[in-house]
């Protein structure tokens, strides 16, 4: 922002007094019907060539005021839209937070002296992993591209979770 406030007026201050560059620009059509522009016309196209008017019009003070008013209006609207977007993101985060609180890590682990997890413990772990997987798929779902594939920035928003294997399948 500081760049616009300081450098832009300085650039305008130094460039404005310079006279506009004046060079003749010509337009001609070649044998294939293509239109060309240049600072000189080739000899074979002298008959079809013509000079192009490139006069520069300096806007009046009223036009400058109108342009500044439009720019301020657009900046105000952009600021409001940015606020609305940030508010929407806050709401989405607050809606996702309770869902993430329900997700637990593996609820059961092998206790000392226990050879392996019981079937109930394995099923509880599987259900917790499946819940994480479903939430991951729901998050990625909004970034799917028609015809297959996923938008790249989805991986910044969503956690990639591998589908868990059913516990009783070897």
Least confident segment among 6-20, 36-50, 63-77: 6-20
Q: Do 103 and 132 touch, CB atoms closer than 8 A?
A: yes
Better-predicted residue by pLDDT, 160 or 13: 160
The closest of 64, 54, 62 to 16, measured between CA atoms, is 64
pLDDT in tens, 26-39: 888 888 888 888 88
For the chain, what is the mean pLDDT? 80
pTM of the model: 0.36
Q: What is the pLDDT of residue 157?
A: 87
Q: What is the DSSP letter of 160?
A: -
Q: Do 50 and 37 touch, CB atoms closer than 8 A?
A: no
Mean pLDDT of 137-164: 88
Rounded distance, CA 52 to CA 120, Å? 85
């Amino acid at each position: 922002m500081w760049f616009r406030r300081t450098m832009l007026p300085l650039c305008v201050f130094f460039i404005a007094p310079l006279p506009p560059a004046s060079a003749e620009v010509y337009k001609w059509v070649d044998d294939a019907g293509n239109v060309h522009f240049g600072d000189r016309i080739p000899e074979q196209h002298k008959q079809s060539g013509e000079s192009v008017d490139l006069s520069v019009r300096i806007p009046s003070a009223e036009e400058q005021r109108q342009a500044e008013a439009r720019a301020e209006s657009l900046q105000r609207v952009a600021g409001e839209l940015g606020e609305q977007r940030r508010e929407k993101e806050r709401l989405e985060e607050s809606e996702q937070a309770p869902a993430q609180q329900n997700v637990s890590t593996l609820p059961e682990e092998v206790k000392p002296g226990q050879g392996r997890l019981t079937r109930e413990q394995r099923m509880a772990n599987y259900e917790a992993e499946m819940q994480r997987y479903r939430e991951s798929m729901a998050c990625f779902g909004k970034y799917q591209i028609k015809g297959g594939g996923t938008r790249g920035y989805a991986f910044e928003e969503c956690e990639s979770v591998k589908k868990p294997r059913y516990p009783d399948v070897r």
